[in-house]
Copies of this chain bind each other. A is one copy, B any other.
């Protein structure tokens, strides 16, 4: 019986292929099998980021996921985990590509939770879009004793208002159709003048737009609002 393969959760960063770590690059270019989420509407960001690094002889496992949040993704992850387990059982290492970092709101965690215990798993951290956005915007996020919160724009308004009122700096992710709600809460809390908007950070089509000029209808999932700290550095 051949030994089992190893499963890698590979953080590939926010979009610029040069923001892969040396370790993620090494693993990506040496494993026999790669897997990556694809959305039903055909968008495949993870694979596109690392397209230039993929070898023709690598086995690819696309993992279709429902685009609509109303549809349960559970059966999709079950199918993907089964396909990955099949390759691991054949003794092949499998790298699951994760945009950003695998442990922070990543889809890898659903594969991780299905296969942990059965196979050896190694997680390689990746650059989160949050840190990448701060770098691209050119603004320090936090100093010294600041509290920094990352929260999804999908939260209910009351929760968002409460959480945003208690932190020194914040990143609001997963904006999409929730942009107008988030913007209005920031205005109400007196935070809108500090808030910065960025789309597709580090990708060739990255956009930085003054937040008051953003068209709420045009905001995608791959956008983020950063509210940097106002702590005065010495």
Please list the residues of chain A having a beta carbon within 8 angstroms of any beta carbon in chain B: 9, 11, 13-14, 16-23, 25-26, 72-74, 77, 101-106, 109-110, 112-113, 116, 121, 123-128, 131-132, 134-136, 138-152, 154-155, 159, 162-163, 166-167, 233-234
CA distance A197 to B164 in the complex (A): 27
| Chain A to chain B: the 9 pairs with minimum beta-carbon distance, closest first | A18-B23, A109-B140, A123-B135, A103-B134, A125-B131, A125-B135, A147-B151, A74-B234, A149-B149
Which residues of chain B are near A18, meaning CB under 8 Å?
A: 21-23, 26
Given the contacts A16-B23, A104-B142, A152-B144, A131 and B128 also touching, CB distance less than 8 Å:
yes
CA distance A142 to B104 in the complex (A): 5
B17, B147, B154: the one contacting A150 at CB < 8 Å is: B147
A155 pairs with B145, CB closer than 8 A? yes
Given the contacts A25-B22, A110-B233, A234-B73, A124 and B134 also touching, CB distance less than 8 Å:
no
Q: A102-B135, A126-B127 are in contact. List 17 more A-B contacts (CB 8 A).
A: A14-B125, A18-B21, A19-B23, A20-B21, A22-B22, A101-B131, A103-B134, A103-B139, A105-B146, A109-B140, A109-B143, A110-B233, A123-B138, A147-B152, A147-B159, A148-B149, A163-B166
